[in-house]
């Protein structure tokens, strides 16, 4: 344990449970940051101001200081800072914090003030930019900002959660014994090549820079939002490599690219700050899905599995069998480091199958569990969703016990000039039109359409609070009557 949290007898057992989960999730942030060896990142100069606290590069998890729970209906954690950034004594930013700026005039002959090259008028914004450059060593061009700098929560130095840049893989038939049949993986198939990325690894690394089927991609996972998203790494003719910035926005991972040090929102793929923000760049999504390992292995016997990272001593770089955010997806838990308003239509950390569009749509997992084969239409696309209620949660229970979360996939149900209607029968998932049998990854395994692959729809399985804050206009479909098949 990271410490003993004494709860008075007057505090209800319900609040006690919520407070203990905060201790775990808050400590997990520091544990992930510090790792076990401290050799994967250079020492960082952290802190500015009298209240700052340094994070040692090789700190032991037992040395981490847990966040202080705050009793409230939606408790927020007060985290012992790794750096007081921004300084709480500074004047507040403008209300929206979104002041676009132009570059400073090159005609001035006076000695420039710190930060004058960005011509940022707001004092708090300018001070934040200066500290990001001088203390956190960012070389980002802060002249271009779609979001005010005060809208980012700095938690760690960049790449303290180390991305994987040179991933190694093993064939499905040679998969190691530690792979549990029902554990979740991110499945990505590009140009006939299939790869599986275990969430047990991504929990500790969050980003894998890779190439699949000859296409450079980055596979990402934000544990705090349960957001598993894959992007193309080539944009505007440039191939980028991504890392973890150590910052969050709306509790979601903010990535950075090493070529321009632009900052990118993982949830949306948008460039928010830096050179690429000037062109309103948005990364291209690559279809991917979170499914059980055995589902992937059965569907893609020639597929590849991401191997665990081994250190110079031949030991795993991280304790991959121990989820750093154990119990975080408990339905009683308030999102960590999230100061926004939770959309109360659903429980904050409940999972939803999401499909974006003119009107974004979300299907609660609780609804899909009762309707594991779902025909619907989203915009102009006729879709089908499949649900597997046996997939394990990547977070596990607070006591280390496995927990089941389920997993969902979504596809277009148009094949050729026909729109299929799917149902669950004694044979499994079948289509009414031909009687063909399909698996959870949208491949017909028998019948007239055997070998046919349904076209995947870009979708994800996020925590509700995260999807709702980025897509507040979402239509929640949680009844048969709400569907438009």
Domain residue extents for the chain: 169-306, 351-482
Mean pLDDT of 89-116: 46
Rg (CA), the chain: 23
What the block records as the tokens of 75 is 């408790």
| Structure confidence at residue 119 (pLDDT) | 82
Please say if the pLDDT value at position 42 is more than 50. no
Whether cis (ω within 30° of 0) applies to the bond prior to 142 is no
Give the residues across from 164 on adjacent strands. Answer: 208
Section 126-154 average pLDDT: 96
Mean pLDDT in residue range 86-90: 36
**Tens digit of each residue's pLDDT (9 = 90 or more) over 120-135:** 889 999 999 999 999 9
Per the listing, tokens 């870009």 go with: 458
φ, ψ of residue 134 in degrees (nearest 5): -85, -40
Residue 47 has pLDDT above 80, yes or no: no
pLDDT at 432 over 80: yes
Average pLDDT on 324-330 reads 92
Burial (Cβ within 10 Å: 0-12, 13-18, ≥19) of residue 156: buried
Q: Does the pLDDT value for residue 28 go beyond 60?
A: no
The answer to which of 134-138, 336-340, 426-430 has the lowest mean pLDDT is 336-340
Is 292 a residue whose pLDDT tops 90?
yes
Torsion, Cα of 29, 249, 266, 119 (10° steps): -130
The CATH number of 169-306 is 2.102.10
pTM (predicted TM-score): 0.81
């Amino acid at each position: 344990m990271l410490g003993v949290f004494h709860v008075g007898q007057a505090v209800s057992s319900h609040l006690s449970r919520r407070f203990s989960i905060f201790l775990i999730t808050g400590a997990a942030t520091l544990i992930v940051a510090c790792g076990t060896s401290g050799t994967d990142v250079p020492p960082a100069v952290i802190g500015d101001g009298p209240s700052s606290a340094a994070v040692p590069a090789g700190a032991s998890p037992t040395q981490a200081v847990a966040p202080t729970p705050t009793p409230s209906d939606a408790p927020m954690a007060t985290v012992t800072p790794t750096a007081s950034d921004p300084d709480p004594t500074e004047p507040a930013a403008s209300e929206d914090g979104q002041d676009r700026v132009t570059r400073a005039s090159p005609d001035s002959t006076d000695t420039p003030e710190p930060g004058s090259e960005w011509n940022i008028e707001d004092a708090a914004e300018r001070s934040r930019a200066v500290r990001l450059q001088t203390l956190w060593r960012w070389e980002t061009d802060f002249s271009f900002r779609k979001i005010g700098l005060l809208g980012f929560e700095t938690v760690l130095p960049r790449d303290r959660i180390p991305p994987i840049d040179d991933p190694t893989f093993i064939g499905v038939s040679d998969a190691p014994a530690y792979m549990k049949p029902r554990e979740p993986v991110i499945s990505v198939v590009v140009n006939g090549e299939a790869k599986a990325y275990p969430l047990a690894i991504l929990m500790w690394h969050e980003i894998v820079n890779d190439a699949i089927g000859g296409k450079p991609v980055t596979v990402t996972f934000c544990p705090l939002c349960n957001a598993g998203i894959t992007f193309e790494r080539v944009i505007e003719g440039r191939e980028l490599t991504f890392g973890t910035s150590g910052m969050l926005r709306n509790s979601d991972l903010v990535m950075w690219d090493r070529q321009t040090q632009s900052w990118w929102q993982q949830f949306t793929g948008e460039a928010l700050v830096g050179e690429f923000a000037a062109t309103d760049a948005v990364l291209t999504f690559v279809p991917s899905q979170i499914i059980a390992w055995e589902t992937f292995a059965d569907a893609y016997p020639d597929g590849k599995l991401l191997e665990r990272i081994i250190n110079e001593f031949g030991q795993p770089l991280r304790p991959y069998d121990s989820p750093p955010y154990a119990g975080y997806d408990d339905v009683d838990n308030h999102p960590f480091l999230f100061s926004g308003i939770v959309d109360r239509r659903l429980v904050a950390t409940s999972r939803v199958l999401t499909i974006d569009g003119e009107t974004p749509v979300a299907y609660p997992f609780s609804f899909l569990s009762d309707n594991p084969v779902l025909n619907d239409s989203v915009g102009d696309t006729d879709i089908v969703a499949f649900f597997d209620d046996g997939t394990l949660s990547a977070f596990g229970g607070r006591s280390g016990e496995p927990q089941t979360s389920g997993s969902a996939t979504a596809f277009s149900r148009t094949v050729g000039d026909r729109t299929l209607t799917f149902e669950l029968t004694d044979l499994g998932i079948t289509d009414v039109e031909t009687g063909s049998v399909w698996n959870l990854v949208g491949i017909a395994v028998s019948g007239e359409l055997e070998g046919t692959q349904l076209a995947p729809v870009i979708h994800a399985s996020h925590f509700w609070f995260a999807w709702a804050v980025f897509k507040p206009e979402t239509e929640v479909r949680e009844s048969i009557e709400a569907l438009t098949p």
